[in-house]
Every structure is written in C-alpha cells, then in structure tokens.
C-alpha cells in the first residue's frame, strides 16, 4: 500500500452528508476540475460539461447525493461553508433552468438527464469510485479528467500520486502501529503527544489547537441539532428520525437552552448502565440522521461512520469528566492517528473494503481515543483499537436503496458501544498477553477486503439491499 503523511485534519473534515466517498469526495473532485480549467486558462471558453459516474458512484450515486454534490462543486460552492438548507433549492434551480454557473462565474447549458450519466455497468480499475469530467470548448477541443474518491473525502486525480500535501519532515514518521509504539517507548510520550509533535511540522501549535476545537464545534453542533430535529429522512425510505424523541424521553423534566446546559442536564439523568447505553445510542443516531439529511457533519473518518466517534466523545464528556478543551483535543489526536494507520495499511473506503472499513475503523479510532483519555497505557490504547476492529472484520456495506440510512444509522450506535466495550476490556487487561496486534488486524482487514465479493462493497447489489422490499420514487 502507498504510504502518505496524514494530518489530524485529513482524517477529520467538515462537510455535508450523506457520504464522504460519494458526496464529499465527488464534491471536492468537481472543485478540483474547475480549478484545473482555471489553471489551463480555458474556463472562459467552456461551452458544455458532461459528467460520467462509474462503479459504486453510479450504483449508489442517487441515494448518496453524488449528482447533487458534483453540481454544487462545479458551481463553485464549498461543502464547509455552503448553507445546508440551500442544497435542494439550488439543485432544483439548476435542473429547471438547464443552466450551470461553472465556477460561480460562467453560465453553461446543462441538461442533467443528458449531461450527467450513471454508468451502472462500467468500472475503472484503480478504484470503484470514479468520475470523469469533460469540458467542451468553443475551439472544438475538449478537456477530460478522471478522479477517484478513495474514502473519507480523499480524492486522487488519475495520473497523480495521491499525495495532496507538500511532504514535510515529521519528527515521528508513522506507517504502522509498531512505528507508533516505537516512538512512544523511545520518547515516553503518549500517543496524542506524538501526534501533537508531528502536527507542528505543518502549522503552529495554536493553529492546530484552534483547528481541533473547530472540528469539535462542528461535532457538538451536529449532535445537538440531531437531538432536536424531528421528521422523516429524505430519499423515499420514509425512515423516521429517532434521536429527538429519544432525547426528550431521556432528558425528562431537566431544562436547558444550549449545548453546555444540555450536557449538565444529561448528567442529571444518572449514570446507570441502561441510561448510559441509551444516551450513547441517542448521540450516534443524532449525527447520522443529520448526515442522511444533507446536514453538516465531520468525516470521522467517513460520513457513513460519522456518528461513532462523536457518540463516544460525547459519552466521555457527559459521563467521564471529559469536558475540557485539552481532553477533547487529546481524544481527537489519538483517534486520528489510529485512523491514519488503517488508511495507510488497508482502506477507509466501503467501496473497497465493505463497512468494516468505515464502522470498523471508526470504532477502533474511538476505542483508542477513549482508552488514552481514561488513563490507559500506549499498549492498552493499541489493544483497544485492535479489539474494536477484530469484532468488525467482514462487516459488509449493503445500504438499502443506496441510502446511508438502513442499516448504516443503527450500525453507528453498535460501533460506538463496541468502542466503549473494547476500551473497557483493554483497560482491564494486560496487553503484554494479547495474542493479536493492531498491525495484524489491519493486515487481516485488508485481506478480508480483497476477498470480499464486490456486491457487498457499497453497490446495493447484495445483502439487505436486495432482501428488503422497497419502492423508491424515480430519481
């Protein structure tokens, strides 16, 4: 597998749901194509654009909003700042007016039925998530570029190395869990401290701290919003939101008017096992219901698995005295390093590895982060990550109707609970006696991904996706 330098802000990206590989990635690819046209100085003479979607992007593109993301990206909009309540109106205007404002500056004729093609039976060899952009110029020539959305919002242009950042001199280069443990033993640093030192190679300590707290702000706003929004999820499955109703039931008569007061009210409901379990499920449901509704979320490390890490972090904040900036930063740092190890040694793309690559990785990240924050040793942290992934191996990705709703939303609750269980097991264990290392489980996960039938890799061609009778509206 290709090695790369991965920052905290590569693993955690603010964007719009429902999918990092099928929404955020294609959105970024569309933006990059427009930038390429500008760099080639041909943007002003573009007369028409066509988009070709291949493989998994074609098969589940409608359900994941791939077409919507691409049109917004081509229009010059950014997923970090674009107002989520403007998604539907803008797309409806593009389709009804038959006009796309390329890069936000150049009006071009655009007929979605003809110019945006879903090639359901065609795939490209590099990765199942492929999109080709074609720009036809008034000179009679054309510009064509192909991009691959490789999971977690990461995008690779065909012919490029995939290294999106300038290479830096990291004080602690890490490709494997063994590398990470080596540096921890040599320096005596905790995993979050090793990460903090590496981040200094890209930016100042204050910039990293501000960025991490900005990630947390997006996470907590997503949880809070999801716990207070009712109705049905879009897409035609008519799935009812559950987080708000569960929040109201659990919170009882406790009053609050903002996030901080809400956290205090949650603590007042008690810390019994049943109550804590219900709250963790509520947190995860809230995030993924927002994700399924084209809400603002954070890839953690993907959108489909976006609820696991926030749910475990919120558990740590509400029930384990983790409500300080530094503890939250340490949590995010540790989680990001575990995620990067999986990305380097295997994959975080469900289209490549099934849901083990999303929920499994996010559960391992959350388990590791919680373990360090609860006082675990570096070896216990790696043990927790291994336990969490070991019990997600082989998990398939089979979204019904190509929507990130069933079984995806509930899988986030299960991933969060498994993360907490893995952490507790590691904290009560001697890692010196562990039979399976984190690197061994990363290798096993990748081998499992290679062996997994393609119909279980985010295509909606197998599993629950073909065994649950549904009737979706025509796209």
pLDDT one-digit tens code per residue, 158-217:
988 655 567 899 999 999 999 999 999 999 999 999 999 999 999 999 999 999 999 999
Q: What is the pLDDT of residue 472?
A: 57
Q: How far apart are CA 397 and CA 459, in angstroms?
A: 8
Task: Give the 3-state DSSP-derived string for 15-40, with helices as H, strands as E and coil as C.
Answer: EECCCHHHHHHHHHHHHHHHHHHHHC
| Size of the chain, expressed as the number of residues it contains | 475
Q: What is the pLDDT of residue 150?
A: 93
Q: What is the pLDDT of residue 63?
A: 86
Q: What is the pLDDT of residue 272?
A: 97
Q: What is the pLDDT of residue 475?
A: 37
Cβ atoms of 212 and 332 within 8 Å: the answer is yes
Cβ atoms of 279 and 270 within 8 Å: the answer is no
Structure tokens given for 295:
């809400």
Q: What is the pLDDT of residue 4?
A: 85
In tens digits, the chain (475 residues) has pLDDT values of 446 899 999 999 999 999 999 999 999 999 999 999 999 999 999 999 999 999 999 998 988 999 999 999 999 999 999 999 999 999 999 999 999 999 999 999 999 999 999 999 999 999 999 999 999 999 999 999 999 999 999 999 998 865 556 789 999 999 999 999 999 999 999 999 999 999 999 999 999 999 999 999 999 999 999 999 999 999 999 999 999 999 999 999 999 999 999 999 999 999 999 999 999 999 999 999 999 999 999 999 999 999 999 999 999 999 999 999 999 999 999 999 999 999 999 999 999 999 999 999 999 999 999 999 999 999 999 999 999 999 999 999 999 998 999 999 999 999 999 999 999 999 999 999 999 999 999 999 999 999 999 999 999 999 999 999 776 554 3
Give this prediction's pTM.
0.92
Spans of all domains in the chain: 18-157, 177-467
User: CATH assignment of 18-157, given 3.30.1330.90, 3.90.180.10, 3.40.1010.10, 3.90.1150.180?
Assistant: 3.30.1330.90
């Amino acid at each position: 597998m290709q090695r790369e330098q991965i920052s905290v802000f590569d693993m955690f990206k603010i964007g719009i749901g429902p999918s990092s590989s099928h929404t955020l990635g294609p959105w970024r690819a569309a933006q990059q194509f427009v930038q390429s046209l500008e760099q080639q100085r041909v943007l002003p003479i573009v007369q028409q654009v066509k988009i070709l979607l291949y493989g998994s992007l074609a098969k589940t593109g409608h359900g994941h909003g791939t077409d919507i993301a691409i049109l917004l990206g081509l229009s010059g909009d950014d997923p970090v700042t674009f107002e989520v309540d403007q998604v539907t109106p803008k797309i409806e205007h593009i389709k009804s007016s038959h006009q796309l404002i390329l890069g936000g500056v150049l009006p071009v004729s655009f007929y979605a039925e003809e110019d945006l093609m879903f090639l359901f039976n065609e795939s490209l060899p590099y990765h199942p998530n492929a999109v080709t952009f074609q720009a036809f110029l008034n000179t009679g020539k054309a510009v064509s570029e192909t991009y691959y959305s490789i999971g977690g919002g990461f995008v690779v242009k065909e012919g490029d190395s995939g290294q999106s950042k300038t290479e830096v001199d990291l004080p602690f280069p890490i490709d494997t869990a063994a590398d990470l443990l080596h540096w921890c033993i040599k320096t005596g640093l905790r995993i979050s401290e090793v990460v903090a030192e590496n981040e200094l190679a890209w930016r100042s300590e204050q910039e990293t701290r501000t960025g991490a707290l900005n990630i947390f702000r997006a996470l907590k706003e997503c949880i809070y919003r999801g716990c207070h929004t009712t109705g049905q999820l879009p897409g035609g499955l008519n799935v009812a939101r559950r987080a708000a109703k569960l929040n109201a039931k659990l919170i009882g008569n406790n009053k609050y008017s903002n996030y901080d007061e809400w956290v205090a009210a949650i603590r007042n409901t008690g810390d019994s096992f049943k109550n804590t379990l219900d709250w963790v499920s509520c947190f995860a449901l809230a995030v993924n219901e927002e994700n399924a509704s084209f809400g603002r979320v954070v890839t953690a490390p993907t959108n489909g698995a976006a609820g696991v890490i926030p749910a475990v972090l919120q558990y740590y904040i509400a029930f384990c005295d983790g409500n300080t900036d530094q503890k939250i930063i340490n949590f995010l740092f540790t989680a990001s390093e575990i995620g990067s190890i999986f990305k380097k040694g295997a994959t975080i793309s469900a289209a490549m590895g099934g849901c083990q690559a999303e929920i499994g990785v996010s559960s391992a990240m959350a388990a590791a982060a919680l373990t360090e924050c609860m006082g675990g040793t570096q070896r216990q942290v790696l043990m927790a990550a291994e336990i969490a992934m070991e019990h997600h191996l082989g998990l398939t990705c089979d979204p019904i109707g190509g929507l990130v709703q069933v079984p995806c939303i509930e899988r986030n609750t299960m991933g969060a609970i498994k993360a907490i269980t893995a952490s507790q097991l590691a904290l009560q264990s001697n890692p010196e006696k562990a039979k399976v290392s984190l690197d061994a489980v990363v290798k096993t996960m990748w081998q499992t991904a290679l062996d997994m039938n393609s119909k279980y890799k985010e295509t909606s061609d197998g599993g629950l996706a073909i065994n649950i009778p549904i009737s979706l509206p025509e796209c």
